[in-house]
Amino acid sequence: MDAQISITGNVGTEVEVRATRNQQSMATFRVACTPRYRASSGEWTDTDTTWMTVRCYRWLAENVATSLRKGDPVVVVGRLRTSVWNDDKGVRHERAEIDAASVGHDLTRGTTHFRRSDRPATEAAGTGEHTGDPDAGAGVVSADPWVTPSEQAGEQTGDELDDRVDLVPAP
Q: Delineate the domains of the chain, giving CATH numbers in brackets.
A: 4-105 (2.40.50.140)
* Overall pTM surpassing 0.85 (yes/no): no
Q: What is the pLDDT of residues 77-102, one digit of tens each?
A: 999 999 899 999 999 999 889 999 99
CA 126, chain centre distance (Å): 20
Average pLDDT over residues 42-68: 94
- pLDDT the model gives residue 41: 92
The larger pLDDT score, comparing residue 28 to residue 126, is at 28
Report pLDDT digits (tens) over 124-169.
444 443 444 444 444 434 344 444 444 455 544 444 444 444 444 4
CA contacts within 13 A on the Cβ side of 136: 10
Q: What pLDDT is recorded for position 137?
A: 42
Residue 47, CB-side half-sphere exposure with 13 Å CA sphere: 8
Distance CA 34, CA 38 (A): 13
Q: 32-41 long-range contacts, Cβ below 8 Å, gap at least 24?
A: 33/7, 33/8, 33/9, 34/9, 34/10
Residue, of 148 and 103, whose pLDDT is higher? 103
Q: Count CA atoms within 13 Å of residue 87 on its CB side.
A: 6
Q: Calculate the CA 105 to chain-centre distance.
A: 9
